[in-house]
Chains A and B, each alone.
Chain A
Amino acid sequence: MLTDDVNPYPIQLLLNYWELCPTLGGTAASFTKKSPLTEKLEELAREGITQIATFLPWQAIETDITHALPRFLHAAAERKLKVSLIVNPELGVHYPNSGLPKDMVRTPTELALHCDQLPMTSALPPNLFALPSLFSADLGKRYYSFLSRVDSVLGDLGRTHPHSVKNVTLITTGSFWKYYRSAQRSTLSPFAGPAGDFSPAATVIFRQRVEQFFSQREFQDPTPISANRWKTKAMDEVNRRWFFQQAEDVYKHRSFQMLRKKAGFLNIREIELYTPEADPGFLYSHMLQELSGGNADWARLSTLVDHAASRSSFGSASVAGPFVHWTSLGGFRSLADTQRQFLILKSLLLMGGQGGGILLDEADWFSLSHAFRSRVSTIGKMIQYGQLQLDTSIAYFSPHSWSGGGVLWDELQAQMGVEARMLASFEALQRRAETRLTIVDPTMVITREVLERLIRWAETGRTVALPRSTLYTESARAELEKLAATSRRMDINFDIPYHLYFVGAGKLALYEWDSSLMKTSSRALVQAFVASIVALSGVNKLCKSATGKVQTIPLRPKPKSAAATIETGGRSIFIFNETSLASNTELQFSAAVAISDFATTFARLEKGQSLANSREAVEHSSSFALDLAPCGIAALALEIPSETKAEAELATPDARTSDAAALEQELVRLPEFIPENKEFAEAVDAAAVLNSVMGGMGPGESGGFPDGIDQ
């Protein structure tokens, strides 16, 4: 199994073996020395390609009487090509019904329904079809039998022809779960509204699971009847979120296990494969485009990539590296070259920077200019060696990866851009060492275990923002009260007030939340709250653009990578002009930086030359003007003089002081983030005064915490 730290192939080229039927010059033995497949493999090998990926369509495996898969693997192995086999059903596969058996997508009772009780349509060629429900018993039975067959075919091959599978990696993905969303809501805003399957089959399982989940002892405290409050109709929306996440996790885990029975000797890599062209948020745009005969809406595709990159999912045993699949089937193909290049590079940086990458059809890849391919390959290599990593400074802990996060998440994303990430798994959070702040979604059910894990995480010098909601179990509430009684407390009386507790070297902010804050009119309050919590955690957004339609993607070397040890300040920043018009923008950095051309700098680094004397002399400044061409991309290498000190602090969070003076220092910095908000500045001043007073107070003396959580 591959570990989280390895990102061997951020650029995966897709070659679907079943498409290469022997048309010309074919013989009865379709995979002999001179068939289209072998010719294609040889062509790729000549081009210097060493690794390819292919989907395993469910239907193709079920009907593979000619043993096409083993023959393909054998042919690839003969040419020393490494092969990744994408096992789970995904959208955007060039096979009828994306590879699903026909009867599974034609039976009305087997179809998935979104939250508005309508079926969801996949609109990518070779045909439109309604998504089946992964909760359907028939589908489940047949799906696991398909996995068993894959496992068996590969297991047998490993026994009889070990050479053929020596370089094979199995890829498991998250399948359709992420597409179970309403097209209407997703068009309004990507990933808006509740995601999940609301079909009758799913609802039956949901009810069963709710009964089972709340029969746990913790929910029956103080009396068994207490569990009923969790099972009311009003709680359905909350409960469905964790239920869908659990169902997805179970699906991933079972799929993973099924492939380890006979083919356990193979590497398994867990990824989250996302196809923007198949997203419900692109459905209407795509179909209107087809109706009109026009070209695709690239701005929409770009927005979808941003939103997908901001959500991180966990596989069965590791963080699922996010991949974007650009098919040659949907709107992507119709875009102008500059737009396609824009999307490819952007998705590579956003996904590759998180341990994932892009999946492209090999024909599409070779249709790009040689110069562009060469640049992208270099960036791919840098990602592979850990030189370009995207930080998750702030995590948003949500019960479901694919549902809308509400105004709190929207605001966090608006303020922090690509540095904020939504997670639904504590394991994923724990593996992100760079994360400084976690905001917990107000719809999260807080059990004692969840609370303890969050507190432990905060104790290492980080900040956790917890909602004050009714969704705490009795024991979690008691635990929090205990913590409140033994920790120093500070009240921040802002529009959305919160209590601040000092836990270990970190902080725990308990914020007030009610449903009225979900309204658009409350956006300003949420905005100020997010800004204050972010500032409190000490997270600085490295770079902001003065123009709204210009996006910045800051990247840095992995702390332990070789690149990071070459020299300090190995950061880089990519700036994308998201419009079809030329743009002039001003980049504002949180500290004075020196910028230089990315390509030149890294070319010198690659040659082993020192950066110190080679960089073009650029004056240190915190603001730079930049001209960008339509759909233009600028790449800059950054040198941040103050970084060495800051990184030293980051590397040793335990060493960070947690005393009142340090907090005061952080709080004093808050007005910088919302300079025009006098109320907030006053609140901060008051807090600073309170802070100095609190210096002499003992634990629990700061006003008590009996009202900490609403019951």
Chain B
Amino acid sequence: MELISDWRSFRSLFYPRRRSLLQNQKQSTPVFVLVAEETIAAIYSESEDLSGWIGRTQAELSASEEMNGRKCVFLDRPSFDQWLFNATGMNHYQEQLESLRETATGALQEQQMMLSGAVLFKRHFVLDSLRGWWSKILPSAYGIYIRLDGQPGEDIFIFVRQGRLESYGRPDLSSLSSERCRDTESIIKYLAEKHMAPVQGFFLNAQEWSTWGTASQPWRKIALSIRSERVRLVPFRWGVVGLIAGRGFLTR
């Protein structure tokens, strides 16, 4: 069986666990508040129990010394409920989260607040690129297969259509023989035929992948890794290498 939205594998690669904030960092984190008729319906801030504020008023929170100097992001609870319900019509969690973030950002912009500076959330550089201007030059439908060797070894196939992530998960290669499964080109060929779209494979070490994820200029690192053959592109496409290198060395 193949899960078309294998969140476990996806998150493992694109949302690695983050360390909790230290005690002295907490005071600088934003506070997210859901408000209904001036009353606090829900409140969240990383590593803090602010539940005592639930049921009190927005004005009290804003005026409190506890919140002095902290950024409070206020969202309307009934609207939030509606956003959540609207998101249920979408296919998978990643798409739903992106939609929620976009809607919240839009709503906050109307209040002349910026969500981007207030969040700890950082989209993975690969997902960020797929949503950006690359979507204009890449094919309308394509797949990316990433296999990480090491302990534990992981692999994921993501399929993108019209710049949107359509599915993600470990591909079902059960119809390939053991021999063909060991051949990287056969895997990519099989996936391309199955999805009727070009597929780019990346074969690398798990450690290398995690280094990219934390680097300030990951695309430059990838370009260097390709040059030093620490990552293998299957099939090797100059166009893809050019895009990566261009992004790594020409853009900041």
Contact = CB atoms under 8 A, between A and B. Distances in A.
A94 B87 contact: no
B96 A96 contact: no
Contacts of A287: 80, 84, 100
A372 B153 CA distance: 25
Interface in A72-112: 94-96, 105-106
B41 A126 contact: no
Contacts of A297: 44, 49
Contacts of A524: none
Contacts of A19: 1, 3, 6, 8
A21 B93 contact: no
A106 B11 CA distance: 25
B160 interface: no
Interface centre among A121, A290, A292, A328 (most CB of B within 10 A): A292
Contacts of B23: 580
A292 B44 contact: yes
B120 A125 contact: no
Interface string B145-187: 0000000010100000000000000111111111001100000
A579 interface: yes
A293 B44 contact: no
A188 B77 CA distance: 13
B32 interface: yes
Given A26-B181, A291-B121, A580-B23, A127 B92 contact: yes
B139 interface: no
A118 B91 CA distance: 21
A165 B7 CA distance: 31
Given A292-B30, A292-B119, A25 B181 contact: yes
B174 A126 contact: no
A328 B8 contact: yes
A484 to B, nearest CB: 42
Given A60-B1, A125-B11, A288-B44, A334 B18 contact: yes
B contact residues, range: 35 or more
B224 interface: no
Contacts of A183: 81
Contact of A187 (B29, B54, B85, B172): B54
B194 interface: no
Contact of A288 (B8, B34, B122, B153): B34
A66 interface: yes
Contacts of A289: 44, 46
A294 B45 contact: yes
Contacts of A371: none
B42 A26 contact: no
A22 B85 contact: no
Nearest to B121: A293
Contacts of B101: 291
Interface in B37-61: 41-42, 44-47, 49, 51, 54-55
A518 interface: no
B122 A293 contact: yes
Contacts of B30: 292
Contacts of B84: 121, 123, 128, 283, 287
Contacts of A129: 88
A25 B90 CA distance: 33
A294 B174 contact: no
Interface residues of A, number: 59
Contacts, number: 174
B34 A23 contact: no
Interface in A173-217: 183-184, 187-188
B138 interface: no
B104 interface: yes
A303 B50 CA distance: 13
A377 to B, nearest CB: 23
A126 B155 contact: no
Interface centre among B5, B30, B49 (most CB of A within 10 A): B49
A60 B122 CA distance: 34
B96 to A, nearest CB: 5
Contacts of A184: 36, 41, 77
B204 to A, nearest CB: 16
A646 interface: no
Contacts of B32: 288, 291-292
Contacts of B104: 291
B107 to A, nearest CB: 11
Nearest to A339: B20
Interface in A27-65: 27-28, 30, 34, 60
Contact of B174 (A26, A96, A336): A26
A295 interface: yes
A24 interface: yes
Given A128-B87, A299-B49, A96 B120 contact: no
Contact of A285 (B42, B85, B89): B42
A28 to B, nearest CB: 6
B197 interface: no
Interface centre among B19, B36, B88 (most CB of A within 10 A): B88
Given A128-B84, A291-B104, A284 B34 contact: yes
Given A23-B155, A28-B174, A579-B49, A127 B91 contact: yes
A385 B71 CA distance: 52
A119 B4 CA distance: 26
Interface in B69-91: 77, 80-81, 84-85, 87-91
B4 A284 contact: no
A121 B51 contact: no
A184 B76 CA distance: 12
A290 B181 contact: no
Contacts of B42: 187, 284-285, 288
Interface string B1-37: 1111111100100000111110100000110101010
A126 B80 CA distance: 20
A521 B47 CA distance: 33
A448 interface: no
B240 interface: no
A119 B88 CA distance: 11
A28 B175 contact: yes
Interface centre among B7, B91, B101 (most CB of A within 10 A): B7
A39 to B, nearest CB: 12
Given A21-B2, A125-B93, A291 B170 contact: no
A24 B19 CA distance: 31
B190 to A, nearest CB: 11
A528 interface: no
A68 interface: yes
B5 A126 contact: yes
B215 interface: no
B202 to A, nearest CB: 16
A127 B84 CA distance: 11
A333 interface: yes
Contacts of B87: 128
Given A21-B1, A121-B85, A294 B93 contact: no
A127 B19 CA distance: 25
Given A294-B44, A328-B8, A24 B34 contact: no
B196 interface: no
Nearest to B36: A184
11 contacts: A21-B170, A23-B173, A25-B182, A26-B173, A27-B177, A119-B85, A121-B85, A287-B80, A290-B97, A294-B47, A300-B51
Given A288-B32, A291-B100, 6 more contacts: A21-B1, A28-B177, A30-B174, A125-B5, A127-B91, A294-B121
The 4 closest A-B pairs by CB, nearest first: A293-B121, A294-B46, A284-B42, A125-B7
